[in-house]
Amino acid sequence: VMRVGSDSMSPTIEAGDLVLVARSGGDVERRDVVVVDHPDTGALLVKRAVALGGDRLGIEDGVLVVNGDPVCEPDIDPARLDGVWFGPVTVPEGEVFLLGDDRASSIDSRAFGSVPAGEVTGVVGSRLWPSPGGLPDELC
């Protein structure tokens, strides 16, 4: 169980929410919400895995594009986008690229780069408080 300390995953997960985290063992899939140590500070971060090793990603006019295909992101509030262009970059094998759902207030792989999949502490399975339940279902 972990209390989230920032709004970088809003509206999916808000600051102060309690979430249940399952150990990942480096097993991460695209769209998983994961917990990882910040590469520079060691602080725990909660972010969304948007690309895996070998994937090429960019943000084009505010739309996440992975391997040439636009990604439907129902969790993203267009009002919370900060930059409309990024990349493209290729994620090294064995690593994951992480973004916050609130792109305007998120310090994520755009700043510190992709992270080794083995350094992912766990995958967030559900929110325990204040509104118990799973994370929103994918709408795409």
Question: Catalytic residue at 8?
Answer: yes
Candidates 8, 10, 24, 106; catalytic one? 8
Taking alpha carbons only, the member of 118, 107, 130 closest to residue 9 is: 107
CA angle 78, 98, 106 (to 5 degrees): 50
Candidates 6, 10, 47, 109; catalytic one? 47
Question: Catalytic residue at 109?
Answer: no
- On whether the CB atoms of residues 63 and 70 are closer than 8 A, the answer is yes
How far is 53 from 38, CA to CA, in rounded Å? 19
Q: Any idea which residues carry the catalytic annotation?
A: 8, 47
